[in-house]
Amino acid sequence: MADENPSRSVLDTAEESKIEKARSTDTVRAPSTPRSSKRRRNIVILIVALVVIVGGVFLWRYFGTYESTDDAQVDVHLSAVSARIAGYVTKVNVDDNQWVEAGAVLVEIDPKDYEVAVAQAQANLANAEATAQSLNITVPITTTSTSSQLRFTASDIQNASAGIIAAERQLTAAHAQLDQAEANDIRAQADLQRYKLLVDKQEVAAQIYDQSLAAARSSTAAVAAASANESAAQQFVQQARSRLVQADASYQSAETGPQQVSSTRARVRAAIADVDQKRALLEQAQLNLQYTKIIAPVSGEVNKTVVVGLNVQPGQQLLTVVPLDEVWVTANFKETQLRKMRVGQQAGIKVDSYGKTLKGHVDSIAGATGPLFSLLPPENATGNYVKIVQRIPVKIVLEPGENRDRLLRPGMNVVPDVYLK
């Protein structure tokens, strides 16, 4: 059998020699195997420890560079649009969730009643202006007339006083003339009696007696005339005194001219005030007419509660405009996270809804914790107090252009990371 397969025996002999060498080698190296493996193990442990330490340092430094919270949401000031006047809604120009620009007409109220009010206010203003203008013209006329009347009445007093003096002088002259006439009459009557005796004795001619009789009658007539003149002079004196009394009364009436002017000016001021009042009513009527068109105060999306045919009242809310270009993030950080947080620090905002990260920065930090702004803030002055880490709202605004697609909607959940360095 060995002769039949000589090659196999040669191979077996070679394998046996290899096994022999391997055994001899293992016998020589066996004493050094535990020491070398321990060294390699120590090296591996050292490398792993260094990697862990270095990684821990980097992780500690990395996580120490920002603060993050998942208690954050998108906020915005909702613009409530309400009616400023009462009326009937005739037209609604927008639909729900429609984008509108600031100043766009959203709702129209029936303007007919307010157009009538404007026309009436204009007529009342025109009437008040005409009255004020008329009274304003009266002031200089009254001033001039009262001043002239005062001068004229003063002149009348002087004339009346002079008239009294003249009348009294005429009365004095008339009285003197009466005395003279009476004296002449006494002499003439005496002469008549003497001549009568002489005529009866025919000591003088009848012609002389006739002349004496005529002279006596003439003197008697002169006495009557002088007496009449005296009576007339007395009447003139009384008339002159009456004119003085009348002139004095007129002067006293004229002295009230300044008060009349003041009264007229007061009426002018009242008329001007009435004009101002009517003008204010006209402006109010015009404003009410403008309020029949309700416009958008800001740009944004509309949420409406008004329909055509609704009778609205002042202050009734009709629409809400959501200004999506003015949204911000309110992040409620724990009080322990605010140690290094400052206004102006950059922030990354992860949006849950569509997985994007937006850029922003810290705008402000609230002046109190969130619970203090609630209707019933907590009262910790009890014996059952448990210390709880409070949260303080932090306002984070977006950088310009970050929300140009307006995908951020108020109320969305976000995760902001505020970088502290």
Provide the pLDDT confidence category of residue 237 given band limits of 50, 70 and 90. confident
Encode pLDDT of 331-388 as tens digits.
999 998 998 899 999 999 999 888 889 999 999 999 888 777 776 776 666 666 677 8
CA distance 219 to 191: 12
Helix axes 112-200, 257-290, angle to 10 degrees: 170
Instruction: Please tell me which residue, 370 or 257, carries the higher pLDDT value.
Output: 370
Encode pLDDT of 213-235 as tens digits.
777 777 777 777 777 777 777 78
What is the SS3 assignment for 368?
A: coil
Domains of the chain: 66-77+323-419 (2.40.30.170), 81-112+290-319 (2.40.50.100), 114-283 (1.10.287)
Joined together, the tokens standing for residue 254 give 């004229």
Contact 296, 81 (CB under 8 A): yes
Interstrand relation of 346-351 and 414-419 (parallel, antiparallel or unpaired): antiparallel
Provide the pLDDT confidence category of residue 272 given band limits of 50, 70 and 90. confident
Longest dimension (CA), the chain: 253
The pLDDT value given to residue 374: 72
Which residues pair with residue 312 across a beta bridge? 87
What mean pLDDT comes out for the span 156-160? 71
CA distance 142 to 150: 12
Instruction: Please tell me which residue, 96 or 180, carries the higher pLDDT value.
Output: 96
The pLDDT value given to residue 28: 42
The pLDDT value given to residue 9: 42
Encode pLDDT of 133-152 as tens digits.
877 766 665 666 666 666 66
Encode pLDDT of 368-381 as tens digits.
887 777 767 766 66
The pLDDT value given to residue 257: 59
Residue 407 pLDDT > 80: yes
Q: Lowest-confidence range among 90-99, 217-226, 297-306?
A: 217-226
The pLDDT value given to residue 10: 39
The pLDDT value given to residue 32: 46
CA distance 270 to 251: 29
Residue 4 pLDDT > 60: no
The pLDDT value given to residue 363: 95
The pLDDT value given to residue 291: 95
Q: How many CB atoms lie within 10 A of CB 221?
A: 12
Residue 3 pLDDT > 50: no
The pLDDT value given to residue 195: 65
Provide the pLDDT confidence category of residue 204 given band limits of 50, 70 and 90. low
Provide the pLDDT confidence category of residue 242 given band limits of 50, 70 and 90. confident
DSSP code string of 369-411 = -GGGGSSS-----STT------EEEEEEEEPTTTTTT----TT
Q: For residue 407, which phi and psi values (nearest 5 degrees)?
A: -85, -20
Instruction: Please tell me which residue, 94 or 57, carries the higher pLDDT value.
Output: 94
DSSP code string of 329-363 = EEEEEEGGG-SS--TT-EEEEEETTT--EEEEEEE
Q: How many CB atoms lie within 10 A of CB 321?
A: 24
Contact 340, 420 (CB under 8 A): yes
Instruction: Please tell me which residue, 162 or 354, carries the higher pLDDT value.
Output: 354
- The residue behind tokens 């009266």 is 138
**Cα 184 versus chain centre, distance:** 100
Q: DSSP class of residue 85?
A: S
Instruction: Compute the mean pLDDT over every residue in the chain, rounded to the nearest whole number.
Output: 80
Residue 29 pLDDT > 60: no
The pLDDT value given to residue 149: 65
The pLDDT value given to residue 238: 80
What mean pLDDT comes out for the span 110-130? 94
Residue 96 pLDDT > 70: yes
What mean pLDDT comes out for the span 256-261? 64
Residue 8 pLDDT > 50: no
Residue 45 pLDDT > 70: yes
CA dist 130 → 118, 187, 241 (Å): 18, 82, 47
Surface-to-core class of residue 255, CB atoms within 10 Å of its CB (0-12 exposed, 13-18 middle, 19+ buried): middle
DSSP code string of 193-207 = HHHHHHHHTT-S-HH
The pLDDT value given to residue 222: 75
